Amino acid sequence: GNSVTQMEGPVTLSEEAFLTINCTYTATGYPSLFWYVQYPGEGLQLLLKATKADDKGSNKGFEATYRKETTSFHLEKGSVQVSDSAVYFCALSSNTGFQKLVFGTGTRLLVSP
Amino acid sequence: DAMVIQNPRYQVTQFGKPVTLSCSQTLNHNVMYWYQQKSSQAPKLLFHYYDKDFNNEADTPDNFQSRRPNTSFCFLDIRSPGLGDAAMYLCATSGHRGFQETQYFGPGTRLLVL
């Protein structure tokens, strides 16, 4: 079945450091890929998405590229801020039937001043 | 602001005592989803409604039921909560069911079973 694997957290960085959170997936067909973010006490929010191979999603300085050859969708940001501290979830949606999101277990990011 | 609202944010119930969690949305979306998220685990889809059409996941226990009386509201009923049902329950909506759709999540209800 479909699955998503994320790097274990927490990821601890200093402000202005470079961020990478790894995400790989297993799926049949050509899924859509998503990154959701969950700030403390809030629900999940869509951060970015990509719907086909080689697409790059971007938002708020975050980027991720859909790499079919490596089945990856790694999240990157060039310079993190304290306000980026949150839990980040990678997810996929298969392109068959309805949109069923399959999530990774989440990666907590802690950014210190 | 248009949004997905979940009430209550925290719910305490007793073992075996039925409990209902509520979700409402002002987005006028066709699809509403319920997810269960246990500690340090990924959210797991329980079921969804496409308009009035209920769609259960194959591995969702019979103990979990749902109602959608109108477009705006959707309820999650747990008939006889067990200790293993303690979790965060997330409601989400989307305009349609296409695989490229964005789902909009509420803040969640954390359920504690004593």
Please indicate whether, in this complex, the C-beta atoms of A99 and B4 are within 8 angstroms of each other: no
Distance, in Å, from the CA atom of A35 to the CA atom of A57, rounded to the nearest integer, reads 9
- 3-state SS, residue B83: helix
pLDDT band at B2 (very low <50, low <70, confident <90, very high): low
The values of phi and psi at residue A80, to 5°, are -80, 155
Residue predicted with more confidence, B34 or A40: B34
Contacting residues of B for A49, CB less than 8 Å apart: 100, 102
Segment holding A28, helix H or strand E:
none
**B39 in contact with A, Cβ within 8 Å:** no
Partner residue facing A51 (CB), from B100, B103, B106? B100
B41·A105 Cβ contact <8 A = yes
Distance CA B65, CA B47 (A): 9
Q: Among B31, B90, B98, whose Cβ lies nearest the Cβ of A43?
A: B90
Interface of chain A toward chain B, CB-CB under 8 angstroms = 4, 31-32, 36, 41-46, 49, 51, 89, 93-106
- Closest-approach residue (CA) in chain A for B55: A98
| pLDDT(A95) > 90 | no
CB atoms within 10 A of CB B79: 13
pLDDT, one tens digit per residue, over A56-65 is 999 999 999 9
Using DSSP's 3-state secondary structure scheme, residue A111 falls into strand
Pair of tokens at residue B82 = 């067990």
Determine the residue of chain A that is closest to B33 in CA distance. A100
Q: What is the pLDDT of residue A1?
A: 82
Q: Looking at residue B98, what is its pLDDT?
A: 75
B7 touches chain A (CB under 8 A): no
Percent of chain B with pLDDT over 70: 97
The half-sphere exposure of B83 on its side-chain side, counting CA atoms within 13 A, is: 1
What is the nearest CA distance from A44 to chain B, expressed in angstroms? 5
User: Taking 80 as the threshold, does the pLDDT of residue B113 lie above it?
Assistant: yes
**C-alpha pair distances (Å), B63 with each of B3, B45, B81:** 28, 15, 8
Minimum mean pLDDT among A17-26, A50-59, A90-99, B29-38: which range? A90-99
Amino acid at A8: E
Please name the member of B4, B41, B103 whose beta carbon is closest to the beta carbon of A101: B103
Write the pLDDT tens digit of every residue in B82-99. 999 999 999 999 987 777
Cα dihedral B48/B34/A103/B96 (nearest 10) = 40
